[in-house]
Chains A and B, each alone.
Chain A
């Protein structure tokens, strides 16, 4: 039994827009059609559907079933993964496990959200009782507080953080699917001078809420061979940690579940951080990228800025970073946004990066971040390592 007994054989994504004019199910249909055309599968051959979280779908307690009905899919396995921004990576792992367990053979992983046009989410959490009365707005405030904690203990180097923002923006300029409004180059000065939102979080630290969809088809390795798929992406390592520090009353917010999830994924893959060919971390805030570099072992805890100054994060550099622009420069498709960096990693492994194609296609590391807990960092950390063969 192993993750690598299945493979990703196709990817698709829509243009990312500030507010969708079309229904979330029409975006889903666009992804399905593109994947069928790309892979040559008939619709009837898809026997599994795994959806990411979706703010639009959040009001519907039968989300995966009704989406299957809209797309006329007859299935042996059907579920929604509800670990927020981590759910696209979680979907790949669950699809792989379901295929491995014989529950299904060919799975559509669909990440669609129109959170701006139609947000039906109604969170039932600690929020109304313990944070909303204080004017707490969720993620921007949480990242403001964790950034001030980081600053107090290690010092924040805004030049280093700005370097990450600039590299991602340069990639969005090369990505036709990135939100058009964001496809203008920026400089470190632009980053430093952008408006303060929650000190020390600036506007250019943040994602812009957008609408859009992406998706993958995963199938059994036997089917890959039988049908002669030339380009595949194989999950060779996966780790997932929810509620890191759950049994502690004071949690250092600069330490995250990515440490444990990363160790597991690297061990499964037989790889180390130095082996990583391209890096596609979940980016809801710029500082999250630096924290993940530290937690995944690219550098020591608290030493992210020094590492960032030493490396070249452009697609042509020695550690290509979110080569489609990441969510911060391509736009965040609600709770489906984790699919943006995931699909970009698959595109790079397929050698279809076009003007932004990375040189080293040996592997790609993708991560997820999902949910904001009370006064810590995030609920779920996921790490996925893909290779073009295994």
Chain B
């Protein structure tokens, strides 16, 4: 089996928060995934934006919890990286389409190269950050 690195051992760069993305990060403290939903458009959006990508109106936006399950939309095997990821290659980057219909970028872990393919079903897993938040990762939903 050709293995890729799961990157558990590295200290990842801490993501900053913006005024409009705080609910996302607050929910990760409890390993919950919340994403923005536009009631008028009846559609979801990711990454978190300061307004609705559908209408430009903020009033119809709300945060809703989702399962985080989805499938691989596209992926790449990173073989040359910058610190702190350098010397931890190869690892998998993927776009995952959540079942709600939004694309989310993350690392795919616990996934041998033989298994990775477009359409692979995945589920969320949470990597602790030093400040109590968690980083959303995905693994195969076997």
Contacts and interface: CB of A to CB of B under 8 A. Distances in A.
Interface of A: 126, 128-137, 140-141, 144-149, 152, 196-199, 201, 246-251, 253, 374-375
Contact of A135 (B44, B47, B85): B85
A145 B75 contact: yes
A374 B47 contact: yes
Contact of A199 (B12, B79, B103): B79
Contacts of B76: 141, 144-145, 147-148, 198-199, 201
Given A134-B106, A249-B101, A375-B95, A129 B16 contact: yes
Given A135-B78, A149-B118, A128 B103 contact: no
A129 B47 contact: yes
Given A129-B17, A129-B18, A141 B93 contact: yes
B102 interface: yes
A250 B103 CA distance: 6
B105 A130 contact: yes
Interface of B: 7, 12-18, 21, 43-47, 53-54, 73-82, 85, 88, 91, 93-95, 97, 101-103, 105-107, 117-118, 135
A145 B74 contact: yes
Contacts of B97: 250
A125 to B, nearest CB: 10
Nearest to B56: A247
Contact of A133 (B13, B45, B75): B13
Contacts of B118: 148-149, 152
A257 B76 CA distance: 23
Contact of B53 (A126, A137, A148, A249): A249
Nearest to A146: B74
A237 B12 CA distance: 47
Nearest to A246: B53
A26 B17 CA distance: 40
B11 to A, nearest CB: 10
B75 A249 contact: no
Given A145-B94, A197-B80, A152 B74 contact: yes
B95 to A, nearest CB: 5
Contacts of B135: 133
Contacts of A253: 74
A135 B108 CA distance: 12
Given A129-B16, A145-B94, A375-B103, 12 more contacts: A134-B12, A134-B105, A141-B78, A147-B76, A149-B118, A152-B74, A197-B79, A198-B93, A199-B76, A247-B53, A249-B102, A374-B105
B101 A250 contact: yes
Given A132-B15, A246-B53, A375-B105, A126 B74 contact: no
Contact of A250 (B17, B47, B75, B102): B102
Nearest to A130: B47
Contacts of B79: 196-199
A134 B93 contact: yes
Contacts of B107: 134-135
A252 to B, nearest CB: 10
Nearest to B53: A247
A148 B76 CA distance: 7
Contacts of A201: 76
Nearest to B55: A247
A135 B91 contact: yes
Contacts of B17: 129
Nearest to B91: A135
B15 A137 contact: no
A133 B137 CA distance: 11
A126 to B, nearest CB: 6
A284 to B, nearest CB: 16
A253 B107 CA distance: 19
Given A129-B21, A134-B106, A198-B77, A144 B93 contact: yes
A128 B43 contact: no
Contact of A247 (B21, B46, B54, B73): B54
Contacts of A374: 47, 105
A249 B95 CA distance: 12
B81 A135 contact: yes
A390 B64 CA distance: 57
Given A130-B15, A133-B13, A141-B93, A249 B46 contact: yes
Nearest to B45: A249
